[in-house]
């Protein structure tokens, strides 16, 4: 290579929130100065703004850089990084070394521009690099301990540490002495570090709905499913204008914040470790932290009823109660099970015994086949959950799952903000013995870009996938195998093309 010919290189920039000295602009300026003095030309930039260096999963920039380099099509001959900590604060130093080795093995070395040692493979540089990697990881561990200690202290004082307030509640910004400043809207955050957040009762209609839910459980002895059906029948909307379901009602009935109690530390997932549920002995509990919506005595009575219906019952007790219901009513239906005050919900029976049909078979009920439809519905939900989980696993940094209120249909949000509805279509034989797929989109998702997954004839696996600009029909309808309606969108040959196809379909709407 001629003496005046520059070497093409990529720069990688990363900043979380720890120091202004690590701003993307400062990193880029330092790298540019290094490049000019060492005969490099920066021809590509990859960055992760506001991303932790603990892992690779959420760092889209570094993932794209590694893919380009390992594929051998990038044209880069070096990767310029400000220092070892910008490459990552991996808790396992071998992980940091692994990603660097991937680049070096294809002839693209990683160069740390602000370090005092040259990354040239000598013994001294290897020792210094290993020490720097360890120090970078240790910094995160120490910072994590300090942050957690601060969060626990504030939690013991009754201040909320983050997350959604929940139905019937709102977040209130207060001063360190507890003087209320203003209510925070969805997405708003405090601007002054010393300010704190507490929960307060929300709109009067939501507060009354919460109290009504407890009344329906205690006074009317309604089941959780029956309460959700009652609310939907009356047109009461859940968060984001969605409908109520079992999980939404159950969350209201069981979360201590509705009686004014603040609980912190029920789970732990520090330093990118898997999220773990912690025992109650490790929870931080602050009674009377917020203004209660429900009296603590009423809340306690509700918990006794809910616990008595489910976790304290053995399999034999649950089957005996199901059998008694069948004897008293002369039959069993899903509606009878959900309306009964004496037995657990159908969801609990499915979790315990695999399906309602199996539970009915165990008690000798003569018509378990009537629950085939209900079990089939649950299998469809399971396939939908499996589908969205697989897509998120394929694109951990580009796609996330959105669950709007109590809806059972999860949506997928791309990193550019595009929300994609997920729709499964079951197959069935019509009178002519032809195969058709039933399309039944949610009424409030018809305008969304939609991922349509059609099932095989057995309805146990996926046949094909289509990305559509929306659903332009107001009612349930049927599709043939090669229906012209599908030409409105694009067929996915592979799920790995989901993101690019979804964006293309959206831009063509």
What letters, b where the CB count within 10 A reaches 16 and e where it falls short, cover 14-52?
bbbeeeeebeeebbbebbeebbeeeebebebebbbeebb
Do residues 389 and 333 both lie within one domain? no
In a domain, 225, yes or no: yes
Task: Confirm if 337 and 346 have CB atoms less than 8 A apart.
Answer: yes
Distance CA 194, CA 175 (A): 7
SS3 at position 370: helix
Distance CA 193, CA 254 (A): 32
Do residues 49 and 136 both lie within one domain? yes
Distance CA 461, CA 222 (A): 37
Distance CA 35, CA 25 (A): 15
Average pLDDT for the chain: 85
So what's the pLDDT on residue 406? 43
143: left (phi over 0), alpha (psi -120 to 50) or beta: alpha
Which of 52, 108, 50 is CA-nearest to residue 80? 108
Do residues 396 and 460 both lie within one domain? yes
So what's the pLDDT on residue 19? 54
Residue 74 sits in a domain whose CATH number is 3.40.50.1390
In a domain, 488, yes or no: yes
Sign of CA dihedral 216, 220, 222, 226: negative
User: Other CB atoms closer than 10 Å to residue 466's CB: what's the count?
Assistant: 22
User: Which of residues 366, 389, 409 is at a domain's end?
Assistant: 366
Do residues 316 and 302 both lie within one domain? no
Task: Confirm if 371 and 344 have CB atoms less than 8 A apart.
Answer: no
Residue 211 sits in a domain whose CATH number is 3.90.1750.20
Do residues 303 and 314 both lie within one domain? no
In a domain, 415, yes or no: yes
Who contacts 128 (Cβ-Cβ below 8 Å, separation ≥6)? 115, 116, 117
In tens, the pLDDT along 77-126 reads: 999 999 999 999 988 899 999 999 999 999 999 999 999 888 888 898 88
Do residues 500 and 388 both lie within one domain? yes
Q: Which of 321-330, 338-347, 360-369 has the lowest mean pLDDT?
A: 338-347
In tens, the pLDDT along 196-238 reads: 999 999 999 999 999 999 999 999 888 888 898 899 999 998 8
Do residues 337 and 456 both lie within one domain? no
In a domain, 193, yes or no: no
pTM for the model stands at 0.59
So what's the pLDDT on residue 469? 93
User: Which of residues 366, 401, 436 is at a domain's end?
Assistant: 366
User: Which of residues 335, 366, 397 is at a domain's end?
Assistant: 366
In a domain, 69, yes or no: yes
447: domain range? 375-507
- H or E element at residue 276: strand 276-277
Q: What tokens appear for 180 in the block?
A: 């209320």
- H or E element at residue 7: strand 7-15
In a domain, 157, yes or no: no
In a domain, 111, yes or no: yes
Residue 300 banded pLDDT, cuts 50, 70, 90: very high
In tens, the pLDDT along 395-428 reads: 877 888 876 544 457 888 888 888 899 999 988 8
Residue 413 sits in a domain whose CATH number is 3.40.1350
Do residues 283 and 341 both lie within one domain? no
Do residues 77 and 89 both lie within one domain? yes
Q: How many structural domains comprise the chain?
A: 4
Alpha helices in 157-223 (DSSP H): 204-218
In a domain, 200, yes or no: no
Do residues 227 and 299 both lie within one domain? yes
Do residues 357 and 432 both lie within one domain? no
């Amino acid at each position: 290579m001629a003496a005046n010919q520059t070497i093409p290189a990529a720069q990688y920039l990363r900043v979380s929130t720890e120091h202004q000295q690590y701003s993307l602009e400062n990193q880029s300026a330092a790298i540019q100065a290094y490049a000019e003095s060492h005969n490099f030309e920066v021809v590509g930039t990859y960055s992760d703004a506001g991303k932790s260096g603990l892992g690779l999963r959420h760092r889209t920039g570094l993932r794209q850089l590694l893919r380009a380099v390992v594929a051998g099509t990038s044209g880069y001959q070096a990767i310029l990084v400000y220092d070892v900590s910008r490459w990552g604060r991996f808790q396992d130093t071998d992980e940091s070394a692994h990603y660097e080795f991937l680049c070096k093995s294809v002839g693209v070395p990683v160069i740390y521009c602000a370090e005092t040692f040259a990354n040239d493979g000598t013994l001294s540089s290897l020792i210094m690099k290993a020490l720097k990697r360890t120090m970078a990881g240790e910094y995160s561990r120490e910072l994590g301990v300090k942050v957690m200690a601060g969060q626990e202290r504030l939690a013991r004082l009754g201040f909320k540490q983050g997350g959604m307030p929940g139905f019937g509640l709102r977040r209130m910004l207060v001063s360190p002495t507890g003087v209320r400043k203003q209510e925070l809207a969805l997405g708003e955050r405090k601007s002054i570090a010393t300010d704190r957040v507490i929960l307060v009762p929300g709109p009067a209609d939501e507060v009354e709905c919460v109290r009504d839910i407890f009344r329906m459980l205690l006074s009317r002895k309604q089941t959780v499913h029956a309460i959700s059906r009652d609310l939907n029948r009356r047109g009461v909307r859940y968060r984001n204008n969605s409908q109520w379901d079992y999980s939404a009602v159950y969350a209201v009935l069981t979360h201590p914040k509705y009686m004014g109690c603040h609980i912190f530390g029920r789970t732990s997932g520090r330093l990118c470790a898997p999220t773990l549920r912690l025992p109650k002995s490790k929870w931080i509990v602050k009674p009377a932290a917020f203004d209660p919506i429900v009296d603590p005595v009423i809340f306690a009575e509700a918990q006794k009823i809910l616990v008595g219906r489910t976790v304290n019952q053995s399999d034999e007790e649950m089957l005996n109660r199901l059998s008694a219901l069948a004897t008293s009513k002369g039959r069993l239906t899903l509606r009878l099970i959900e309306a009964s005050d004496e037995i657990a919900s159908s969801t609990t029976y499915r979790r315990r015994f695999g399906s309602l049909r199996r539970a009915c078979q165990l008690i000798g009920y003569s018509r378990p086949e009537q629950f085939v439809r209900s079990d089939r519905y649950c299998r469809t939900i399971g396939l939908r959950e499996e589908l969205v989980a697989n897509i998120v696993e394929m694109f951990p940094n580009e796609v996330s799952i959105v669950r709007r209120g109590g809806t059972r249909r999860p949506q997928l949000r791309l990193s550019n903000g595009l929300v994609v509805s997920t729709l499964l279509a079951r197959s069935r034989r019509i009178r002519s013995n032809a195969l058709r797929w039933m399309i039944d989109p949610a009424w409030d998702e018809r305008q969304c870009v939609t991922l349509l997954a059609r099932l095989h004839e057995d309805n146990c696996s996926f046949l094909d996938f289509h990305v559509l600009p929306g659903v332009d029909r107001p009612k349930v309808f049927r599709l043939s195998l090669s229906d012209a309606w599908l030409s409105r969108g694009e067929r996915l040959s592979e799920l790995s093309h989901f993101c690019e196809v979804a964006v293309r379909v959206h831009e063509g709407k």
